[in-house]
Amino acid sequence: MREYLPATLTLYELLYQFLLKDGVPQVLHYGLLLAKVAGLHVSVIDTKTSITSQITEQEMTRKDANCSEEFQSLRMVYHVAPRLLCLKALQKLKEGYAAGRLT
């Protein structure tokens, strides 16, 4: 994870500074953040923010549609199947170890 420190803007370059930390970054819409730091006009940023909000809303609607009841059982299978395979492999490993086939 990175903690973003203030950027430095010079005549010829934009210098970014950040501090690395453990974890997953929670930076949503990096492009909008960059546009603000780069000093783009407020109207451009507002337009892009509006478009981003519309896309996010459409994406949430699509995700809700995919989470309908007809797909719920299929999603459950996709979550359970890998765990069952791992348990079966672990069971075979334990049996092989108990039988002396693995040392």
Query: pLDDT digit string (tens) for 3-55?
Result: 555 666 666 776 767 677 777 667 678 788 888 878 888 999 899 899 999 99
Report the pLDDT averaged over residues 89-103.
81
Q: Report yes or no on 58 lying in a domain.
A: no
Number of domains in the chain: 1
25-57: b (≥16 Cβ within 10 Å) or e: eeeeeeebeebeeeeeeeeeeeeeeeeeeeeee
Question: Is residue 23, in this structure, part of any structural domain at all?
Answer: no
61 domain-assigned: no
pLDDT of residue 81: 85
pLDDT at 78: 82
Q: Is residue 85 part of a domain?
A: yes
Domain-embedded: residue 99: yes
- Evaluate if residue 70 carries a pLDDT over 60: yes
Q: Output the six-digit token pair for 18.
A: 């950040």
Instruction: Report if residue 60 sits inside a domain.
Output: no
